[in-house]
């Protein structure tokens, strides 16, 4: 519909023990996810695509980071699920919100874990000589 405009899409998944965790289906699913992450490290992968049909631009990249969780008690999991925060987050937690209390450390890009690797995205634009002002309609 808008071949002259830049369009960006992105999504994030959590991977633990080879299993991809998207958003929980319900509270029981969130509890299961959080218990599986407790006391372990996991990967967070955020992928993005930038398209401009008129300029024949299609860029797809991903950024992977490692997050290390402390051991989480059942009481903490219950409290967190009752907050409602995990229900729309990959892996059932948001590192930028209340879920941050579960994180011991990260190796990688905090913003990619949050959901969009802005620094990586801007570097990609710079490498392709796409001026940031071109993106005003995103």
In this structure, what token pair is assigned to residue 90?
A: 């990959």
* Beta partners for residue 66, in sequence order: 43, 107
Please report the sign of the dihedral spanned by the C-alpha atoms of residue 19, residue 17, residue 41, residue 50. Answer: negative
**88 labelled catalytic:** no
- Catalytic-labelled residue, pool 5, 11, 74, 109: 11
Q: How many CB atoms lie within 10 A of CB 19?
A: 10
Looking at the annotation, which residues are catalytic? 11
């Amino acid at each position: 519909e808008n071949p002259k405009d830049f369009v960006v899409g992105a999504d994030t998944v959590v991977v633990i023990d080879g299993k991809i965790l998207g958003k929980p289906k319900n509270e029981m699913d969130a509890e299961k996810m959080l218990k599986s992450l407790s006391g372990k490290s996991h990967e967070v992968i955020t992928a993005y695509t930038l398209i401009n049909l008129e300029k024949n631009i299609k860029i797809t990249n991903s950024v992977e980071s490692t997050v290390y969780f402390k051991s989480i008690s059942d009481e903490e999991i219950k409290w967190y699920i009752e907050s409602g925060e995990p229900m729309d987050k990959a892996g059932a937690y948001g590192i930028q919100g209340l879920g941050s209390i579960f994180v011991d450390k990260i190796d990688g890009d905090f913003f990619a874990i949050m959901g969009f690797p802005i620094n990586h995205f801007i570097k990609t634009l710079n490498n392709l000589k796409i001026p940031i002002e071109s993106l005003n309609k995103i």
